[in-house]
Amino acid sequence: MFSKILIANRGEIALRILRACRELGIPTVAVHSTADSDAMHVRLADEAVCIGPPASRDSYLNVAAILSAATITGADAIHPGYGFLSENADFAETVEAHGLTFIGPTADHIRMMGDKITAKTTMRALGVPLVPGSDGALENLEQAREVADRVGYPVLIKAAAGGGGRGMKVATTADDLEEAWSVARTEARAAFGNDEVYLEKYLDRPRHIELQIMADTHGNVVHFGERDCSLQRRHQKLLEEAGSPALDAKQRDEIGEIATSALKKLGYRNAGTLEFLYQDGQFCFIEMNTRLQVEHPVTEMVCDVDLVREQIRIAAGEPLGYDQKDIHFSGHAIECRINAEDPQTFMPTPGTISVFHPPGGLGVCVDSALYAGYRVPPYYDSMIAKLIVRAPTRLEAIQRMRRALDEFVIEGVKTVIPLHLKILDDPQFRSGDYTIHWLEKFVAAQNAE
Ligand code: MV4
């Protein structure tokens, strides 16, 4: 096991990792920017090193400073959390070249999944179902026409280097294809320095369902079921659930078996998430995330597993020690992301927290690095807390979440708590019948009132 872990992140996820380290008896090193000297992760870690000025590129993305911090403190492993350097293959490679362990997949697997075309080609070869579309990169407009005619309009042109909603263009009919093709390529070249694009049939009302995977270095791969992340606005997730209201146990077992056997053949290691669009009973793989995700706690709650602990154990070479039949799904979990944003405009509202009173009680978890008197800095993500609840059934989880949101007192900054309360009271949300487009329409309707 590791003798000391450096946490290359901030905020609630730095605390989350720190807590897992404490329970494993592993000392921790926090790194922080000058804007985060008073941050909770700095206070709670065994040691802390300042790695640069406020801007992320000079601090939390500063590879040389982070490696120096690891060297001077004698850390032997680095946990990247999510965001920042977590999906940077060069970083993973550099960490390992310095004789430290990167707590995550191999640099090669991070790179492979970072290229969305390679990710899809790989998954296709491993038997994972995909959205109908081009077989790899499009060579030219004529080829785009052939594929679009074959799969049928509307179609999407996506950037190989894109993902998370960046670099996509819809062509509704054949008349739009040339425009979509050239705009997508120009944008991809400008945004990513890579103008490779591919084409998919556009699914008009899918759900976003993702599958949590964990693989050790001894060839064991398991899944911890799915999360439904359809409630997003401008590609920012707002509320996530485990399991999906759209799936039953049989469907989960089927996609889980396909995914775990694919990743076993791939020799994948550590945590990973396969993202699918799910429509008309069909799973279509779109992307894979090679890191821990923000919404991992809903999975932890229904599976009674500590995913960060598992990541650390696996990185240290330990076997999982259980297999798929030992994993049981119990109850329902919901996460509400609490952002310091105006609940109507979603404009960030940095400022000083005057009152912080988190909710409690059975089945309620608050992951947050806030405290009364803390100044939310303007430089980073606006998510200031995650509220996660678990209950025996989905409707009980919804009631518990409403109760916990009502109890939650955050003063000094505006938050999206009022929006969450409205979502939870909406009949369509409560029925579980929603797609990726539901939240955008709901917000527009709320704001029109
Ligand atoms: C799609 C799609 C419809 N059809 N692909 C957006 C984020 C990126 N991960 C993939 N995205 C989409 N890909 C096909 N073939 C619709 C989206 C999409 C979306 C997906 C998941 C969650 C929210 C979304 C919001 C808008 C569009």
Rounded distance from Cα 174 to ligand 1 centre (Å): 20
Rounded distance from Cα 263 to ligand 1 centre (Å): 23
What is the pLDDT at residue 221? 98
pLDDT band, very low/low/confident/very high, at 364 (cuts 50, 70, 90): very high
Q: Which two tokens stand for residue 320?
A: 């999982």
Atom of ligand 1 nearest to the CA of 133: 15
Domain boundary pick from 59, 87, 103: 103
Q: Is 156 in the pocket of ligand 1 (CB under 6 A)?
A: yes
What is the pLDDT at residue 377? 96
**CATH code (residue 190):** 3.30.1490.20
pLDDT tens track for 354-363: 999 999 999 9
SS3 256: helix
What is the pLDDT at residue 48? 98
| 302 occurs within a structural domain | yes
Please choose, from the candidates 66, 88, 64, the residue with its C-alpha nearest in 3D space to the C-alpha of residue 10: 66
pLDDT tens track for 402-448: 999 999 999 999 999 999 999 999 999 999 999 999 999 999 999 99
Catalytic positions: 291
What is the pLDDT at residue 163? 76
What is the pLDDT at residue 45? 98
Domain boundary pick from 103, 124, 140: 103
Q: Is 203 in the pocket of ligand 1 (CB under 6 A)?
A: yes
Number of compact structural domains in the chain: 3
| 235 occurs within a structural domain | yes
Are 254 and 403 found together in one domain? yes
Q: Which of 39-53, 160-174, 291-305, 429-443 has the lowest mean pLDDT?
A: 160-174
Q: Give the C-alpha separation, 346 to 422, whole Å.
A: 15
- Nearest C-alpha to atom 24 of ligand 1 is from which residue? 436
| 111 occurs within a structural domain | no
pLDDT tens track for 49-75: 999 999 999 999 999 999 999 999 999
Q: Is 116 in the pocket of ligand 1 (CB under 6 A)?
A: no
Q: Give the C-alpha separation, 353 to 305, whole Å.
A: 32
- Nearest C-alpha to atom 16 of ligand 1 is from which residue? 203
Q: Is 152 in the pocket of ligand 1 (CB under 6 A)?
A: no
**CATH code (residue 47):** 3.40.50.20
**CATH code (residue 275):** 3.30.470.20
What is the pLDDT at residue 341? 97
Atom of ligand 1 nearest to the CA of 165: 7
Is the pLDDT at 226 greater than 90? The verdict is: yes
What is the pLDDT at residue 188? 92
For range 144-156, the mean pLDDT = 97
Encode burial over 23-58: b for 16+ CB neighbours within 10 A, e otherwise.
ebebbbbbbbbebbeebbbbebbebbbbbbeeebee
Are 303 and 341 found together in one domain? yes
Rounded distance from Cα 371 to ligand 1 centre (Å): 36
pLDDT band, very low/low/confident/very high, at 293 (cuts 50, 70, 90): very high
What is the pLDDT at residue 259? 98
Is the pLDDT at 180 greater than 80? The verdict is: yes
pLDDT tens track for 299-345: 999 999 999 999 999 999 999 999 999 999 999 999 999 999 999 99
Mean pLDDT score across all residues of the chain: 97
For range 95-105, the mean pLDDT = 98
pLDDT band, very low/low/confident/very high, at 381 (cuts 50, 70, 90): very high
What is the pLDDT at residue 166? 77
Rounded distance from Cα 348 to ligand 1 centre (Å): 24
SS3 394: helix
pTM as predicted: 0.97
Are 65 and 94 found together in one domain? yes
Question: In the beta sheet, which residues pair with residue 52?
Answer: 33
Q: Is 436 in the pocket of ligand 1 (CB under 6 A)?
A: yes
Long-range contacts of 118-123 (CB under 8 A, 24+ apart): 118/160, 119/287, 119/288, 120/198, 120/285, 120/286, 122/266, 123/262, 123/274, 123/285, 123/288
Question: Range of 368's domain?
Answer: 207-448
- Nearest C-alpha to atom 11 of ligand 1 is from which residue? 165
Atom of ligand 1 nearest to the CA of 275: 9
